């Protein structure tokens, strides 16, 4: 049914870069066989899923939305891919994304944009716009995304779906193509809080293949999602997450959510986190710096595209010709920014200062979580904007992540879930819930209560 749905609507939506029809049917048949033989089935047996094209999949193309990996067939599965298969999930295919996960609209994909199913002339968010659009257009009930600065939560917000950025280290990064290693985090996307929890439980947990993976039990997310409640909880509202640039309808729905939390028995606490005003600036130094280092491996020699390979060019020339042809403008911009920020003489002024700001943000969160159990905010300042509106204005694009970025810098967990439509444009608004490190279960407890 889902393959038929993809065939019917994805020409218009363009959520998928690659539909693995044969692979999906084979996985589904394998589940049927296991069931017929009475063998033990995985926890998500037979449930179809759309996988962001940033996770390696053995024998299935993985492009990361870039021309530089066009035609590359990975020889191995990412840990997330492996765990999905072990849970008997049916992987339908790989979803569209901003090239190397750099963007907030999926317009930076080298393979063309994805439309928002609510209005195909608008963006589905980014970088994981393919995964969120697949959910919102009922092409898959579950999807996987990655969140470096908001790429799970912002697409969820603008498509009226649920997306969770687990605590950093909660889900293995092995086989997840690196953008900014200290920020990147894979996580579940779904249409309901409980579905997200069921997927979270399958992909999370310690992995010896990832040195930053946390060696501790997975927080009890499913139990929390089944027992939604905010009774007696202290919920923080941060002063810095509203004001100039926020759409009136977004603030209206957010205020209504806060009122609902209060009605359901939560105590609302006003918080001041002054360092959050600096988060965007710090992020746009740290993320490009790490990207400039991580993307050095795309040298035209190891995998994917190779340009200038005609015997007349040196290895250095092949590398630069490949990068010239294979990387899009946003990726080049980030590599240049990052290389500059890390260069000798500038390190203290840029990267070093950004790391100090990161510490301040972490301290603001620590102080906040002494007073409250969770923090809530709008997920994004505005609803989905028209495709093309911010494409030539990187600064305007970066503002989409105003509320999501502090969490990536501090490493704690956050969820976005729908909280109604903005009255002025009838487009979905996202409510963000933020929890302390390894308290991911609180997101589900609160999310299930207000869903």
List interacting residues with ligand GLN (CB under 6 A). Answer: 101-104, 127, 147-151, 179, 287, 401
Q: Which is nearer to ligand GLN, 373 or 440 (CB)?
A: 440
Rounded CA-CA distance 133/117 in Å is 6
**Under a CB-based contact definition with an 8 Å cutoff, are residues 317 and 378 in contact?**
no
* Residues that are catalytic: 52, 127, 151
SS3 234: strand
Q: In what order do the strands lie in the sheet with 48-52?
A: 16-19, 90-95, 48-52, 142-146, 186-190, 162-165, 413-421, 428-435, 374-378, 234-238, 267-271
CB of 288 to ligand GLN, least distance (A): 8
Candidates 247, 283, 305; CA nearest to 99 is 305
Q: Which is nearer to ligand GLN, 127 or 382 (CB)?
A: 127
Strand-pair partners of 234: 267
SS3 196: helix
Q: How many degrees, rounded to 5, is the angle at CA 238 between CA 448 and CA 149?
A: 75
E-strand stretches of 36-177? 48-52, 90-95, 142-146, 162-165
E-strand stretches of 141-276? 142-146, 162-165, 186-190, 234-238, 267-271
SS3 224: helix
What does 370-407 look like in DSSP terms, one character per residue?
HH-SEEEEESSSSSPPBTTSSTT-HHHHHGGGTTTHHH
Burial status of residue 248 (CB atoms within 10 A of its CB: 0-12, 13-18, 19 or more): exposed
The residue behind tokens 């409980």 is 194
Candidates 237, 235, 152, 138; CA nearest to 186 is 152
Q: Is the peptide bond before 127 cis (omega within 30 degrees of 0)?
A: yes
Strand-pair partners of 376: 237, 433
Rounded CA-CA distance 371/239 in Å is 15
Write out the two tokens for 362: 């972490």
CB of 223 to ligand GLN, least distance (A): 28
């Amino acid at each position: 049914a889902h393959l038929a749905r993809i065939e019917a609507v994805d020409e218009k939506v363009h959520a998928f870069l690659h539909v693995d029809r044969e692979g999906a049917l084979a996985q589904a048949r394998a589940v049927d066989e296991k069931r017929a033989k009475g063998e033990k089935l995985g926890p998500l047996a037979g449930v179809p899923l759309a996988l962001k094209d940033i996770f390696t999949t053995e024998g299935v193309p993985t492009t990361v939305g870039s021309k530089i990996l066009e035609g590359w067939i990975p020889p191995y599965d990412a840990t997330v891919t492996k765990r999905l298969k072990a849970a008997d999930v049916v992987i339908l295919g790989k979803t569209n994304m901003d090239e190397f996960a750099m963007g907030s609209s999926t317009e930076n994909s080298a393979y063309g944009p994805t439309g928002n199913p609510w209005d195909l002339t608008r963006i589905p968010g980014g970088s994981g716009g393919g995964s969120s659009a697949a959910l919102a257009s009922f092409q898959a009930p579950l999807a996987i995304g990655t969140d470096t600065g908001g790429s799970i939560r912002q697409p969820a917000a603008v498509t009226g779906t649920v997306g969770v950025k687990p605590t950093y280290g909660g889900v293995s990064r092995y086989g997840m193509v690196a953008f900014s290693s200290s920020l990147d985090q894979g996580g579940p996307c779904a249409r309901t809080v409980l579905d997200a929890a069921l997927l979270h439980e399958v992909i999370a947990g310690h992995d010896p293949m990832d040195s930053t993976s946390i060696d501790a039990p997975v927080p009890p997310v499913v139990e929390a999602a089944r027992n939604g409640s905010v009774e007696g909880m202290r919920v923080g509202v941060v002063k810095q997450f509203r004001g100039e640039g926020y759409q009136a309808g977004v603030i209206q729905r957010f205020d209504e959510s806060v009122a609902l939390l209060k009605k359901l028995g939560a105590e609302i606490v006003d918080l001041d986190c002054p360092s959050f005003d600096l988060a965007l600036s710090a992020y746009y130094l740290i993320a490009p710096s790490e990207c400039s280092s991580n993307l050095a491996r795309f040298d035209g020699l190891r995998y994917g595209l190779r340009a200038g390979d005609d015997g007349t060019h040196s290895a250095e020339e092949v590398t630069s010709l490949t990068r010239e042809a294979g990387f899009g403008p946003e990726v080049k911009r980030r590599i240049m920014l990052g290389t500059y920020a890390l260069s000798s003489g500038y390190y203290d002024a840029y990267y070093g200062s950004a790391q100090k700001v990161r510490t301040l943000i972490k301290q603001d969160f620590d102080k906040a979580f002494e007073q409250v159990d969770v923090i809530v905010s709008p997920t994004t300042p505005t609803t989905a904007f028209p495709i093309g509106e911010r494409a030539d204005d990187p600064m305007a694009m970066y503002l989409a992540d105003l509320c999501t970025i502090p969490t990536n810098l501090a490493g704690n967990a956050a969820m976005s879930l729908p909280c109604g439509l903005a009255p002025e444009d009838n487009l979905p608004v996202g409510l963000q819930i933020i929890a302390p490190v390894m308290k991911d279960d609180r997101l589900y407890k609160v999310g299930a209560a207000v869903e």
